[in-house]
Structure formats: structure tokens, C-alpha cells
């Protein structure tokens, strides 16, 4: 006779660490190879989700207690594409569950046209120090839409924390005025105008995210 615990075990959800992209449709199941850059060991596909020209929705299922998270874009449609266009400021995504950005904006300077192919890359860096990767292949289309609100949900378990050092941290004791000025300049350089726009945007997104979460 089979133990009742056997049947109970069948009812348990698959305890999947790692993460999966749920929209746009990901390249494919990468769970066995998700540590492989740049796309979790899954090659580019022709299964492309249509995205609006100025940016679209992204949702993923998070399976770790926390992960430093980045979203990058690469233009093109083969294995040589480079994910060097950051769509958000990196953040610490906390909690397990569904995460959704209703709209990740695309910089106008990229000159995206109707029919441009690209891929999105989501990176999650967890406590063990290895990054996890997933990609989704997209085609920019002028008539494409972002997800409806009821299709873009954030689980109540999901949280967000900004990265970076505190603005109130003290300079090292030996720092002279000149060095202090230099370090402030260095700090400011991190927030170049483009980054400020990106940070502002992602903060806005996260505000939306948190608003939905609570």
C-alpha cells in the first residue's frame, strides 16, 4: 500500500528555485542550465512576442528569497547579439512570486522601427554568487500593446530594494577636501543624466509595483 504521504507529495508544488520569464514568452525551459550566460543555455528562437515600439511589459516568476536583478536588451536576431542596453537600474528583488513591469521604456535613440528584432535578458544574482539568466525574443511592432493590468500582477510576497551606497555615508578619515570633492564627483558620475532618467523611471515602475503589491 502506498503511503498517504506519497500522494501528498504529488500535490506539493514543484519547489523550483531559479526563475522563469512568463512574458514575453521566454526562449524555453532553462532550469537545468540557467547559470549559463547570456541566456541560460537556451539558444535564440523564432518564437517572438510582439512588443510596442517604445517599450512593453515584462513579467517573471521569482523563485529565490532575494536576487539582484537586471533587465537588458540586445538588438538583432542571432547568437551574436550583445545585451548592452540596460532597461532598468539594477535592484534587489525580494520574495518569491510573480513580478511584473507594465512598461519598460525603450530609449528613443535606439531608432527602433516596426519589425526590429531584439531579445530581452533578465539576470538574477543570488546569495550563492552565481548569476541566473533567461531571455525572451521579441519583435517591435507599432500596433503591439502592453499587458492589461489584470495580466500584469505582482505577488504580495514581492518586494524591492534599491542598490547602492547610502548618500549619508562618511568619507574615509584621511580624506582631504580635494579628495572628498573628487569622490563626490565620482559618485555623481554614476548618476549621469541617462542613469538619472533610468533610475527615475525604474523608481516610478517600482512605485507602481509596490502599489500593486500592497
- Binding footprint of Cu ion on the chain (CB under 5 A): 17-18
Neighbours of 201 (CB within 10 A): 17
The least distance separating Cu ion from the CB of residue 22, rounded to whole angstroms, comes to: 16
Q: Which residues of 102-131 are buried (b: 16+ CB within 10 A; e: fewer)?
A: bbbbbbeeeebeeebbbbbbbbbbbeeeeb
Question: Which C-beta is closer to Cu ion: that of 17 or that of 68?
Answer: 17
The least distance separating Cu ion from the CB of residue 67, rounded to whole angstroms, comes to: 9
Helix, strand, or coil (residue 130): coil
The least distance separating Cu ion from the CB of residue 49, rounded to whole angstroms, comes to: 24
Question: Which C-beta is closer to Cu ion: that of 17 or that of 75?
Answer: 17
For the record, the C-alpha cell of 161 comes out as 530594494
Query: Distance (Å, rounded) from C-alpha 147 to C-alpha 100?
Result: 10
The least distance separating Cu ion from the CB of residue 198, rounded to whole angstroms, comes to: 27
The answer to whether 206 and 158 have CB atoms below 8 angstroms apart is no
Q: Return the bridge partners of 26, or none.
A: 136
- Residue 16 has what DSSP assignment? -
Question: Which C-beta is closer to Cu ion: that of 67 or that of 147?
Answer: 67
The least distance separating Cu ion from the CB of residue 105, rounded to whole angstroms, comes to: 29
Question: Which C-beta is closer to Cu ion: that of 18 or that of 103?
Answer: 18
Sign of the dihedral through C-alpha 123, 201, 58, 151: positive
> Rounded to whole angstroms, what are the CA distances from 9 to 4, 32, 97?
9, 22, 21
Q: In this structure, what are the phi and psi dihedrals at residue 90, rounded to the nearest 5 degrees? A: -55, 145
The least distance separating Cu ion from the CB of residue 133, rounded to whole angstroms, comes to: 12
Question: Which C-beta is closer to Cu ion: that of 67 or that of 138?
Answer: 67
Q: What angle do CA 122, 34, 90 make, to 5 degrees?
A: 25
Helix, strand, or coil (residue 51): strand
Question: Which C-beta is closer to Cu ion: that of 18 or that of 48?
Answer: 18
Amino acid at each position: 500500500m502506498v503511503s498517504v504521504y506519497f500522494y501528498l507529495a504529488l500535490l506539493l508544488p514543484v519547489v523550483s528555485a531559479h526563475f522563469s520569464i512568463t512574458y514575453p514568452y521566454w526562449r524555453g525551459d532553462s532550469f537545468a542550465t540557467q547559470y549559463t550566460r547570456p541566456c541560460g543555455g537556451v539558444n535564440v528562437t523564432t518564437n517572438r512576442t510582439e512588443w510596442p515600439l517604445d517599450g512593453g511589459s515584462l513579467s517573471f516568476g521569482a523563485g529565490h528569497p532575494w536576487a539582484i536583478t537586471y533587465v537588458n536588451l540586445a538588438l538583432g536576431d542571432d547568437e551574436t547579439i550583445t545585451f548592452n542596453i540596460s532597461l532598468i537600474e539594477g535592484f534587489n528583488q525580494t520574495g518569491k512570486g510573480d513580478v511584473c513591469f507594465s512598461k519598460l521604456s525603450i530609449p528613443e535613440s535606439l531608432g527602433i522601427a516596426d519589425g526590429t528584432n531584439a531579445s530581452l535578458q533578465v539576470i538574477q544574482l543570488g546569495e550563492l554568487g552565481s548569476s541566473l539568466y533567461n531571455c525572451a525574443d521579441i519583435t517591435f511592432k507599432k500596433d503591439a500593446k502592453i499587458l492589461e493590468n489584470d495580466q500584469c500582477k505582482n505577488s504580495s510576497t514581492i518586494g524591492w530594494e534599491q542598490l547602492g551606497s547610502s548618500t549619508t555615508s562618511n568619507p574615509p578619515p584621511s580624506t582631504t577636501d580635494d579628495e572628498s570633492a573628487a569622490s563626490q564627483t565620482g559618485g555623481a558620475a554614476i548618476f549621469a543624466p541617462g542613469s538619472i532618467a533610468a533610475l527615475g523611471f525604474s523608481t516610478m515602475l517600482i512605485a507602481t509595483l509596490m502599489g500593486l503589491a500592497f
